[in-house]
Structure 1
Amino acid sequence: MLSGGADSSIRLWDLDVSGHEETDDIADDTSPKGRLYVHEEPSVKCVGTIPRKSGHKFGVSTVLWWPFDNGMFVTSSFDGTAKVWDSESFEEAYSFNLETRIYSVDMSMVGDHCLVATAADHPLIRLLDLRTTSSTHTLTAHNGSVISVKWSPTDANILASGGSDGTVRLWDIRRSNACVCSLDMQQVNQTPNNTAVQYRRAHRSAVNGLIWTHDGGYLVSTGNDEKLRVWSLHEPGGRNLLVNFGPLVRNRHIQTVIPSLSSDGDLKTPYLFFPSDNGEIYMYRLEDGKMMKRLNRGSHATLPRTACITARNRGSLEFYSGAFDGTISAWCSHISGKKGPEESHDFEAFEDIWDNVGFR
Structure 2
Amino acid sequence: MLQLLNDREVGLDPPWLLPRVYGSQRFVDIELSSRREFVKGHKNGVTSMDIDRQSGRYILSGGSDTTGTILLHDTLCPPGSTHQYPIVSNTFSPISNSEQNTSYAICSIQWYPHDTGMFVTSSADRTVKVWDTNEMCPVESFKFTKPVYTHVMAAAQSHCLIAVGGKECEITLCDIHSGSSTHILRSHNLPVMSLAWSPHNDFTLASGSQDNRVLLWDIRKAAGPLMSLDMHNGSGSSNSASVETAHSGHVNGLCFSSDGLYLLSFATDNKLKLWDAFYGKNTLINYGHLTNYDTHTSVQFAVSSHTSTLHPVVCLPSSGSILLIEMLTGKKIKSLQGHFGTVNCVMTHPFEQELFSGGGDGNILTWEPPPPKVTETRSASGRGLSVYQDDWSSDEER
Q: Among 122, 135, 143, which residue is 1:89 paired with? A: 135
Partner SS for 1:94: strand
Task: Answer whether contact 1:17 1:45 (CA < 8 A) is retained.
Answer: no
CA distance in 2 between counterparts of 1:54 and 1:319 reads 32
Between structure 1 and structure 2, the one with the greater Rg is 2
Structure 2 equivalent of residue 293 of structure 1: 334
Question: 1:300-350 CA deviation, whole Å, 9 max, x = no partner?
Answer: xxx41101100122x42111100011111111111528xxxxxxxxxxxxx
CA distance in 2 between counterparts of 1:233 and 1:10 reads 33
1:252 aligns with 2:293: yes
**How far is the alpha carbon of 1:243 from its aligned partner?**
1.0
CA distance in 1 between counterparts of 2:303 and 2:114 reads 21
Structure 1 equivalent of residue 307 of structure 2: 265
Distance 1:159-1:194 versus aligned 2 partners, 3 A rule: farther
Structure 2 equivalent of residue 281 of structure 1: 322
Structure 2 equivalent of residue 334 of structure 1: 370
Structure 1 equivalent of residue 168 of structure 2: 122
Distance 1:267-1:161 versus aligned 2 partners, 3 A rule: same
**How far is the alpha carbon of 1:160 from its aligned partner?**
0.2
Q: Among 197, 211, 216, which residue is 2:260 paired with? A: 216
CA distance in 1 between counterparts of 2:239 and 2:256 reads 25
Partner SS for 1:48: strand
**How far is the alpha carbon of 1:103 from its aligned partner?**
1.3
Q: Among 154, 157, 161, which residue is 2:200 paired with? A: 154
Structure 1 equivalent of residue 354 of structure 2: 318
**How far is the alpha carbon of 1:119 from its aligned partner?**
1.4
Distance 1:193-1:72 versus aligned 2 partners, 3 A rule: farther
Distance 1:260-1:153 versus aligned 2 partners, 3 A rule: same
Structure 2 equivalent of residue 35 of structure 1: none
Q: Which amino acid aligns with 1:332?
A: E
1:133 aligns with 2:161: no
Q: Choose 163-172 or 98-107, whichever is displaced more.
A: 98-107
Question: 1:2-25 CA deviation, whole Å, 9 max, x = no partner?
Answer: 00000110010001159xxxxxxx
Distance 1:176-1:9 versus aligned 2 partners, 3 A rule: closer
**How far is the alpha carbon of 1:149 from its aligned partner?**
0.6
Task: Answer whether contact 1:164 1:206 (CA < 8 A) is retained.
Answer: yes
Task: Answer whether contact 1:151 1:159 (CA < 8 A) is retained.
Answer: yes
Partner SS for 1:179: coil
Q: Taking structure 1 as the reference length, what is the TM-score of the superposition?
A: 0.79
Q: Taking structure 2 as the reference length, what is the TM-score of the superposition?
A: 0.72
Q: Among 46, 52, 55, which residue is 2:87 paired with? A: 46
CA distance in 2 between counterparts of 1:188 and 1:320 reads 38
> Which consecutive residues of structure 2, in runs of 5 or more, have no partner in the other structure?
1-58, 374-398
Task: Answer whether contact 2:183 2:222 (CA < 8 A) is retained.
Answer: no
Partner SS for 2:216: strand
Corresponding residue pairs, total? 304
**How far is the alpha carbon of 1:197 from its aligned partner?**
12
Task: Answer whether contact 1:226 1:251 (CA < 8 A) is retained.
Answer: yes
Q: Comparing both chains, which one has the higher relative contact order based on Cα–Cα distances under 8 Å and sequence gaps of 6 or more?
A: 2
Partner SS for 1:155: coil
1:179-198 matches, cutoff 5 A: 179-187=225-233
Q: Which amino acid aligns with 2:341?
A: P
CA distance in 2 between counterparts of 1:66 and 1:196 reads 43
Structure 1 equivalent of residue 126 of structure 2: 80
Structure 1 equivalent of residue 72 of structure 2: 12
> Which consecutive residues of structure 1, in runs of 5 or more, have no partner in the other structure?
19-40, 338-360
**How far is the alpha carbon of 1:176 from its aligned partner?**
3.9
Question: 1:57-90 CA deviation, whole Å, 9 max, x = no partner?
Answer: 7000111110111100000101111101100111
CA distance in 2 between counterparts of 1:175 and 1:51 reads 37
CA distance in 1 between counterparts of 2:337 and 2:366 reads 11
Task: Answer whether contact 1:260 1:309 (CA < 8 A) is retained.
Answer: yes
Q: Which amino acid aligns with 1:328?
A: I
**How far is the alpha carbon of 1:290 from its aligned partner?**
0.7
Task: Answer whether contact 1:188 1:240 (CA < 8 A) is retained.
Answer: no
CA distance in 1 between counterparts of 2:281 and 2:190 reads 24
1:241 aligns with 2:301: no
Task: Answer whether contact 1:80 1:102 (CA < 8 A) is retained.
Answer: yes
Q: Which amino acid aligns with 1:162?
A: G
Task: Answer whether contact 2:237 2:243 (CA < 8 A) is retained.
Answer: no
**How far is the alpha carbon of 1:99 from its aligned partner?**
2.4
Q: Which amino acid aligns with 2:227?
A: C
User: What root-mean-square deviation, in Å, do the aligned CA atoms of Structure 1 and Structure 2 show?
Assistant: 2.5
